[in-house]
Every structure is written in structure tokens, then in C-alpha cells.
Structure 1
Amino acid sequence: MTTQHHQNSPHPTKPPTIQALSMGAGVQSSALLLMSAQGLLPKLDYAAFADTGWERPETYAALDRLENEVAKPAGIEIVRLSAGDIRRDALDPNSRFSTMPMFIKNRDGSKGMLRRQCTSTYKIKILLAEARRRLGAEVFDDGRIGRVKRSQHLNMWVGISSDEFHRAKDSGVKYAVNTFPLLELGLTRADTQAYLDSHGFAAVSKSACVGCPYTSNAGWRNLRDNHPEQWNQAVEFDHAIREGSARANANGRPLLGQAFLHPSLQPLDSASIDAPPKRRHLRLVGADEADNWEDGDPDGCSPWACRSGRPETPPGSSEVAA
């Protein structure tokens, strides 16, 4: 595997001695773990899963299986990291809360969206802190992890496939060099899913919080029909965040509008999430998100690969109206 360096990467005199994986237990990162375990890619030193405390049941189940059936037999450590519980933090006026990308109904009736800060707080920051610890940075009594010596760095594998090239981003720091093995191998998401299928890992879903606003209608139906406990949590959460985060309200900074988990700006338990009639479903150019939310956000949620505006169209493809 050829290491891919980006603009913010260091110019080391020797290659990094640590190979790490940003593990989300979704299709791409699961494929990378399996490829490493089978020797198709270099051996990983560890795979880090950043737990928001409110991941989907399928994600936890997939992670457990990957750890027991793939990582442990191959001698790859899976480390589970946490910066807190995103649901609890949002509802607790005494907890700091990083904004989720909630849909907003402004006072004038127009639609808006809150900035996504949750991925940075609950995933990227703790992944980078673990990277510094692995590189020998000082760990203080309060749990904070210090700086890394200038010459130290590791490779952070990120699961981005060739059809999602636009999502590949630098880490933003020199001690963790983001690399994209699936891009280097020219593998698409379909290729990685086929690879997982052939090894008995067909049921791998996108990693995201139970209450992620980017959940598709199909995802909400799955939660409602198959995981009633988590569905009830999401419904209760949706009602609770209508005026914004508890801490902001407690500090006298209420939301100038109303927040919702569904782009229709309707309460989750009354939003139209049932399957549309069977027909060819294509995203309309410029169409309202609520009208085309059967598949939701195609990018999912992943460190260094968050959606920013509408996904770009890969070369050679086009969007057409139904």
C-alpha cells in the first residue's frame, strides 16, 4: 500500500511505525479491518471506535462481531473511546453540548440547519487524543493528553471509497496523516460491500447516532419497526430539542426557531416516513430534501468525511429528474 500524504502532512525522514484505523463499523472501515487481518493490507496496530454513547444497535452488534471474529484472531486491538453521551449532553443543562445538524424552522417559516459540531467533539478530538497517546505524548492527571514531538506521526486509515473521493480530507494535524487505502486500491463502495459479503459480513450499515438528523426515512422505519426502545428515545429526543439544547436555554440563549430531526419540520412520530410506492427513485436537482429523504444522506457520518452541503457528483455521472 502506498502511503498517501496531503498538504498538511509532515515530511518525515522515516515512515510512521504506527498504522491506525478510524473504525466506524460501517462498510468501508469494516472492509479495511478485514483486509488488514487477512494480510491484503499492512497489519494495523489498532482500530479506534469513537462512541457517541447513542450509536445504532446494528453498529454495536457489528463492532462486537468484528472484534471477536476478525480483530482478536489477527492480533489487532480495537479501542473504544468516548467523549460523553451525546443524547444526555443535549438534554442536560449542566453539560456542554456540541451542535447536531438539526433542521430548523425559522420564525419566518423558512428552513435552516444547525452547524454540525458533534462529529468533531464526539469523534475526531478523541481519535486524535488517542493518536497522541500512542505516539508517546504525556498523559496528565486530569486525563488530558499533551503534545507530540515534532518528528512523531502515525498513519490514520480512513474508509473512503473511489466513488466518494470528494469526502477525503486531511486530518488537520501533522502527527496523524490521513491515508485512504480504498482510494489507492481503486475500490468502490460496491466493491467493498461485495468483499464483505464474500466473507459473511453482509449486514453492515452506516454508522450514525440513533437520533442523527441525517437518518433516512428507511432508517427511521427500521428503528420504529425493529428497535422500539431506540425509536422511543429518538421520538422523545425530537420533542425535547424543539427549542434547542438544554444548556443554551438555561444560559438564556434560546434557539431562534424550532429544531427537528426530520427535514419535513414535523415531529418525528408524525412525519411521513413510510415507504413510497415502488417506482424509480432519483434525487431531484434542487428539490426539497423532505421530498427526497427515502435514502437520506448518502454520505453517512464519519470522522474527516462529513457532509458539507450537497454531495458532489463524481465525474462521468449526472443527476436527472424523475
Structure 2
Amino acid sequence: MTNPPEKHVLGLSGGRDSAALAVYMRQHHPELDIEYFFTDTGKELPEVYEFLGRLEGFLGKSILRLNPDRDFDFWLKQYNNFLPSPQTRWCTRQLKLRPFEHWLRPILEEGNTVYSYVAIRADEEYREGYSSKHERLKVLLPFKEAGIDKPGVIDILEASGLGLPRYYDWRSRSGCTFCFYQQKIEWVRLKEQHPEAFEEAKSYEKDAVENGSPFTWSQGESLDELTRPERVNQIKADYERRLQRAKEKRQSNPLRNDEEGIDIDELFGQSKGCLACHK
């Protein structure tokens, strides 16, 4: 009796954790023929594409690009110009999960068992994300099983020579340029780092508000209000206060640089970001 056919897949967001998992699987399970994939919304940061290119070099194989059959603008119209939000995350559903399901459907229908490796760390709860709706789609959490936490993820990327994606210099999230899970300091930095992307986000917001959307990209204020000079100064001052408090609370570790590893989620409290986008 022959074993049923198997397929191994690992989704990359362009973020730290999923990249580290790809490196980990390459190093610890070279016997597995893993297909790495990235679901491209068309609204990603340029640093994401640059990092994926470097990751392909390390893995020695191409990363499959899954493109949605309908783009963000199409779905925005379908949702009556209402912006996606933590309450209505249609962007993840239509631009990330839907292409993944369309890709896997014929593979599963052929009788394959698909093993999907997901980068949930040992120091995280299993955050909301993709749950298998098919008996032959198995979701595996190697970092949980191996006890690998956030410092362990950073160690994996540093040891591989990849390091962190460059957007971590100013932002804690991969995914779309205008992700609604961004903190206000990240919106300010988006305007500074990629003003054209910020202006695009502002135009989407203006159209949405004019069409009756109850949501703005950033909770409680529009991007126009958020980037007024006095408001920018207030946001930056708040960020610096939080950073200083975090440094004072952090216990010294002789094996690690005290300046490293304090990211924006740590300062503001980790939000329940979309697993498909932010890992």
C-alpha cells in the first residue's frame, strides 16, 4: 500500500516570524520539499519585496506569488467604499485567505494531504488566523513545538545573515502600507518614509468617509488630522516616553544588546493582528 501524496507549504508575509520559520525549516528539515508562497495584495511596502528577494537567495528556490483575482479597489467597491477595519477585516479575507484557498482547492481535490507550517511562536497564544476547514489540510506550529520565542526568531534571522526586514527600522508590521492595525507613530513614519503611499491611503480614506464609512484608518481621527504638525509632535513625544519607560523596566541581559528588540507592539500592547498578514 502506498502512502497518500503529501504537499508541504509555508506562507510568508514578508515579516520576521514567517521568514525565520522558513529558515528554520530549511535548516532542520531539508528532507521536506516545502513550497513557500506569498500572497501579494499589490499594496505592500517596497521593503517587503526586497526582503523576499533576499530570502529566496537563502532558500535557494523561488517563492510562489499568489495574486488575488480581484484587487483592493474592486473589493472596496463591493463593500460600498467602507474601509476594512478590526471589526470588518474584508481585506484579509478577500486578498489573503481567498487566493490561498483557491490555490489549495485542486491540490486537496486530487487527494493530497497538505501540511501548512505557521509561524506562531512559543511566547504567543494561537492568534486568530487561518483555521483548516478540510480534513486533509493540517496546520502545524513548529516554533510552538520547539519552544522558540521572539528572541529565538531574531537569533535565527541574524545567524542566517538575513537580519530583519528593513521596515522594522520604523514599523512593526508587514502587510499593506495602510494596514489599520498600525499605531499612530507608524502612520507618521509611513508619511516620512513613503509619502506617496501615505497620500494613497489618505485618498482612500477621504472617498470612504464621503460614502458614509464609519471607519478611518486610524481610530478616532483621520490621517489629515493625524499629520497636522502639532499632532505629529504629540505622537512622537508619546512614543519617546513609552520607549524610555520600556528601557527602564527591561532587565539587563549580558547576552543581548539592551537597545534591541523593543518594537512598537511591545510599547503599545500587542494587537490581535491578522495572522495571514503580520507573521
TM-score range (shorter-chain normalised) is 0.7 to 0.9
Within-5 A mapping of 1:163-178? 163-167=123-127, 170-178=131-139
Q: Is the 8 A contact 1:193 1:202 kept in 2?
A: yes
The structure in which a higher percent of residues are helix is 2
The answer on whether the counterparts of 1:131 and 1:176 sit within 8 Å (CA) in structure 2 is no
Call closer, same or farther: CA 1:128–1:42 in 2, change over 3 Å.
Answer: farther
The percentage of aligned residue pairs carrying the same residue is 24
Task: Tell me, in whole angstroms, the C-alpha distance in 2 between the residues paired with 1:187 and 1:114.
Answer: 31
1:19-51 deviations in Å (ceiling 9; x for gaps): 100111211110111123334565343111111
User: What is the aligned partner in structure 2 of residue 152 from structure 1?
Assistant: 112
Counterpart in the other structure of 2:183: 216
Corresponding residue to 1:61 among 27, 42, 50: 50
Alignment of 1:100-119 (within 5 A): 101-102=84-85, 114-119=87-92
Q: Return the match for 2:223 from 250, 253, 268.
A: 268
1:26 is the counterpart of 2:34: no
User: 2 CA distance for matches of 1:296 and 1:89?
Assistant: 33
Partner of 1:5: none
User: Which residue identity lines up with residue 263 of structure 1 in the other structure?
Assistant: Q
In 1, Cα distance between equivalents of 2:205 and 2:62: 36
Task: Indicate yes or no: 2:36 matched with 1:36.
Answer: no
Note if contact 2:20-2:156 (Cα within 8 Å) is conserved in structure 1.
yes
Q: Which amino acid aligns with 2:241?
A: R
Q: C-alpha offsets along residues 186-212 of structure 1, whole Å, 9 cap, x if unaligned? A: 111221022112223333243221121
- Provide Cα deviations, 1:105-127, integer angstroms capped at 9, x if missing partner: xxxxxxxx642122122111211
Q: Against the structure 1 CA distance between its residues 279 and 96, is the aligned structure 2 distance closer, same or farther, given a 3 Å change threshold?
A: closer
Mark the runs of 5 or more structure 2 residues left unpaired by the alignment: 247-264
1:106 maps to none
The 2-side partners of 1:258 and 1:198 are apart by: 46
How far the C-alpha of 1:159 sits from its partner, in A, is 1.1
Check whether the contact 1:275–1:294 (CA below 8 A) recurs between aligned residues: no
Structure 1 residue 131, shift from structure 2 partner: 2.1
- Give the structure-2-normalised TM-score: 0.74
CA 1:305–1:208 in structure 2 vs 1: closer, same or farther (change >3 Å)?
closer
TM-score of the aligned structures, taking structure 1 as reference length: 0.65
CA contact (8 A) 1:171 1:304 kept: no
2:198 maps to what in 1? 231
CA contact (8 A) 2:14 2:175 kept: no
Give aligned pairs, total.
245
C-alpha spacing 1:304/1:60, structure 2 compared with 1 (3 Å): closer
**Native 8 Å contact 1:216 1:294 kept in 2:** no
Question: C-alpha separation between the residues in 2 aligned to 1:100 and 1:159?
Answer: 28
